[in-house]
């Protein structure tokens, strides 16, 4: 993927970034020259080794900061500990599936806290840093479920719709400043978590893995192809480029046509 812009001298904080979409975004921003802060709720040698790997590969500064984003004070402390934030990628998220009448209230609270409220807390601390620097990008990784719905995902759909709404508010509050706020809405992305689900899905439906991907997992994704973490990273990098200066308060779908239906 071609380098879109030079982000040297910028610091990007990516929540939920020791795997999957968040890690893909972190790698792409580092490739563009940004210093990066990785994050998750764990604090292992592998987490810190991942940051060192990115730093060594791209010649940038990369750090790992542990924070449990289900707790607002830790979400705020993540940004404060980083010390500076030019690019904020709110990506952390969890999922739980159940009918509303059976939906565990603790799971509801956790999904709302991690998928939506954490973005409020991190943004509230990051915006003054961006204003001081005279430039900023807030990019929220929402979901196709931030624009449409599926059964049994009440908390996730509610949280992602909330993230889209909050993105618009931030965009309006910063509209006269060199700061933009946008939401990226992926469909199904080929992450290690999704890959691990394919064999079980095929077994459950008595299908080949190829059939399970096309007919079950990607049932609502017209392209019948997964998006990739590299494509998500490239979309983020585009929004951080000068071409994104007047793109604010909107959603960009990376969903193979899902929300066109």
Tell me the average confidence (pLDDT) per consecutive run of 10 residues in the chain, 261 residues long.
Answer: 76 98 98 98 98 98 98 98 98 97 98 98 98 98 98 98 98 98 98 94 97 97 98 98 97 98 88
Q: What positions carry a catalytic annotation?
A: 156
Architecture of domain 11-189+227-254: 3-Layer(aba) Sandwich (3.40)
162 closest CA partner among 179, 183, 177:
183
User: Is 164 within 8 Å of 253 (Cβ atoms)?
Assistant: no
Counted residue by residue, the chain has a size of: 261
Confidence at residue 5, expressed as pLDDT on a 0 to 100 scale: 82
Domain ranges of the chain: 11-189+227-254, 190-226
CB atoms within 10 A of CB 192: 11
DSSP letters, the chain, are: -------TT-EEEESS-SSHHHHHHHHHHHHTT-EEEEEES---HHHHHHHHHHHHHHTS-EEEEE--TTSHHHHHHHHHHH---SEEEE---------GGG--HHHHHHHIIIIIIHHHHHHHHHHHHHHHHT-EEEEEE--GGGTS--TT-HHHHHHHHHHHHHHHHHHHHTTTTTEEEEEEEE-SB--HHHHHHHHHHHHHHT--HHHHIIIIITTT-TT-S-B-HHHHHHHHHHHHSGGGTT--S-EEEESTTGGG-
pLDDT at 4: 56
Predicted structure pTM score: 0.96
């Amino acid at each position: 993927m071609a380098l879109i812009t030079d982000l040297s001298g910028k610091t990007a904080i990516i929540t939920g970034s020791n795997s999957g979409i968040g890690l893909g975004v972190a790698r792409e921003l580092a490739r563009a020259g940004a210093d990066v802060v990785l994050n998750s709720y764990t604090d292992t040698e592998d987490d810190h080794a991942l940051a060192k790997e990115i730093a060594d590969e791209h010649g940038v500064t990369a750090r790992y900061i542990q924070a449990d984003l289900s707790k607002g004070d830790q979400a705020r402390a993540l940004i404060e500990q980083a010390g500076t934030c030019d690019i904020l990628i709110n990506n952390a998220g969890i999922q739980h599936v159940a009918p509303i009448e059976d939906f565990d209230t603790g799971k509801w609270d956790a999904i709302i806290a991690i998928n939506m409220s954490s973005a409020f807390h991190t943004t509230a601390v990051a915006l003054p840093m961006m204003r001081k620097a005279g430039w900023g990008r807030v990019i929220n990784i929402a979901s196709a479920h931030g624009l449409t719905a599926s059964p049994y995902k009440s908390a996730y759909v509610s949280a992602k719709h909330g993230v889209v709404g909050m993105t618009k508010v931030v965009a309006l509050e910063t509209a006269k400043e060199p700061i933009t706020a946008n939401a990226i809405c992926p469909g199904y992305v080929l992450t290690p978590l999704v890959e691990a689900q394919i064999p079980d899905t095929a077994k459950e439906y008595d299908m080949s893995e190829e059939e399970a991907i096309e007919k079950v997992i990607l049932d609502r994704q017209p392209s019948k192809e997964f998006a990739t973490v590299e494509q998500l990273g490239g979309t983020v990098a585009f929004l951080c480029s000068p071409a994104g200066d007047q793109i604010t308060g909107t959603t960009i779908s990376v969903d193979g046509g899902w929300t066109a239906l």
